[in-house]
């Protein structure tokens, strides 16, 4: 197994309900290490740019509004196969389809307000990490 890094975002629905610690415990208990973390209020421009791949999807405007509706916690997670490992810990996009014990099953409010973002490939992880962090802010 290869050691990887992936980008995670704790979304506004979760920060609003004070769930940062409970979500971080899921990562740590399942072998991922939080090697960078900061709490931010995203601007509309930043959120729009981050989710640019979804620009043509009908929910794009609402997704951007949701992502700026409160603070987020952006973080870099490190571990064996971290990209796939994190997707497993997160659970399916729609909490109704997420497996028991996953973050989205336990905490998500809806398909949109689903508590966490996680990179979906190693290449996207690299781009998403550099969107938020410089190399010196990541300490493994």
What residues are labeled active site?
117
- Residue 21 CB, nearest approach to ligand IDP (Å): 21
Residue 111 is a binding residue for ligand IDP (CB under 6 A): yes
Binding partner at 34 among ligand IDP, Mg ion, none, C-beta below 5 to 8 Å by kind: none
- Residue 139 CB, nearest approach to ligand IDP (Å): 26
Residue 109 is a binding residue for ligand IDP (CB under 6 A): no
Nearest to 89 by CA among 2, 3, 25: 25
Binding partner at 81 among Mg ion, ligand IDP, none, C-beta below 5 to 8 Å by kind: none
Extract long-range pairs of 55-63: CB within 8 Å, 24+ residues apart. Answer: 59/112, 62/112, 63/112
Binding partner at 111 among ligand IDP, Mg ion, none, C-beta below 5 to 8 Å by kind: ligand IDP
Tell me the H-state helices in the chain. 12-16, 20-29, 44-50, 60-67, 82-90, 103-107, 122-132
Max distance between CA atoms of the chain, in angstroms, equals 39
Which residues bind to ligand IDP, rule: CB under 6 A? 54, 59, 63, 93, 111-112, 114, 117, 120
């Amino acid at each position: 197994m290869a050691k990887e890094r992936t980008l995670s975002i704790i979304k506004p629905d979760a920060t609003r309900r004070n769930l940062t610690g409970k979500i971080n415990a899921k990562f740590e208990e399942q072998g991922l290490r939080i090697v960078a973390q900061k709490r931010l209020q995203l601007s509309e421009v930043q959120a729009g740019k981050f989710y640019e791949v979804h620009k043509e999807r009908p929910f794009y405007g609402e997704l951007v509004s949701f992502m700026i509706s409160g603070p987020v916690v952006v973080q870099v997670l490190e571990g064996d196969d971290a990209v796939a490992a994190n997707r497993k810990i997160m659970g399916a996009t729609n909490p109704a389809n997420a497996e028991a014990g996953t973050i989205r099953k336990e905490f998500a409010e809806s398909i949109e307000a689903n508590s966490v973002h996680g990179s979906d490939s190693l290449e996207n992880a690299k781009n998403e990490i550099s969107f938020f962090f410089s190399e010196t802010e990541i300490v493994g």
